Amino acid sequence: MRKLTTRWAAAAALALPLFIAPAGSAHAGDAEERGEIAVLFIKNYSSGDYAKLDAWYTKALREDARMPSGVYRANRMVRSIASGFGGASPPPPCAKEPCPRVNDAFWVEHQQRTQAWLKQNPQSTLAAITLASAYSKQAWAHRGGGYANTVRDEDMKKFQELNQQALRTLFASAEYGRKDPNWWSELLTYAQYGQASRQDYAKLAQDAIAAFPRNHDVYFTISQSLLPQWGGSYKAIADLAAQAVENTKAEQGQTFYARIYWNVYYGLNHQGAAVFARPDVDWPRIRAGFEDLVKRYPDNYNLNSYARMACVAAQDKKTTAEVLQRIAQDVVPDAWEGRNEYVRCKSWSQGNAS
């Protein structure tokens, strides 16, 4: 296990420049932080220095520390957990042929590692979240990414069993987890996977909002459950966005309205890219939210994402042209689906393409 995780740590260190914007870019600070946080998790998780991870995470939570784009640093640490399991890379080959379809031994090793971490510090919600994530990743390895009707019965059964184990892990740490917004966010995720009833999920969602009414990821997780393909609706998403603004407007203005729609866009665009142009989506209010967002957090990633949403999701030529003019040469590639998309939006907004 040590050899595998050490190799990933080394690979992540070599890959770090991929996270970094070019010298002189105003986005360098946020991009650097994201890369540094991922490497911090991988390095200390692989070496077993859990105390260092817990200290960093506890401090970030206590201080409500934010990155230049306005997202919470502690939330970003939780999003880095998957990189500690090898990121997007598949598990290594099994020791003996023929290899099973899912390398369960790989995931068991990670679960044992995180169980040791949790035993070392029973108060660590980061350890509990990491252990739950290890069960969830194994669950999805069995299930696969296809539609439910394409999944074999035995694989779906294994998925549900492992997902329940993830939920039990989080509930076991509830005494400390209830004080951590990311514990709530992960609990909501696994409750959705576990096919909680709409009524039970709605109650859990409102409990999470009551506990942390100003945390992005709580709303982001709930918004995913409100997608039409999960039994939700456009109205439910709009109602959540309005509730989030009401809870945060004293400090954040309309920013949460933009953030929530920005977050759900990737779950909506299978219905057509221009989903913000639908009559049941309030693009002017989303646009006002983006204006508040870039005013409060003038990071170029936010500004580039605003331009992309105006172009691709709303097909608002005037706003796209105005925001691209503000961006000028400070293009952030990570905010776009490739250079071609940026070039197309720029050309279209200038009237050079239909």
Q: Supply the DSSP string of 193-240, one letter for each residue.
A: HTT--HHHHHHHHHHHHHH-TT-HHHHHHHHHHTSGGGT--HHHHHHH
Across residues 316-336, what is the average pLDDT?
94
Do the beta carbons of residue 72 and residue 65 sit within 8 Å? yes
The pLDDT confidence band at residue 92, using thresholds 50, 70 and 90, is low
Q: For 3-7, 169-173, 333-337, 346-350, which range has the lowest pLDDT when averaged over its residues?
A: 3-7
pLDDT at 15: 34
Task: Give tens-digit pLDDT for 205-245.
Answer: 999 999 999 999 999 999 999 999 888 999 999 999 999 99
Predicted model pTM: 0.85
Task: Give tens-digit pLDDT for 336-352.
Answer: 998 999 999 999 999 86
Q: How far apart are the first and last CA of the chain?
A: 54
CA proximity to 225, closest of 242, 214, 240, 211: 240
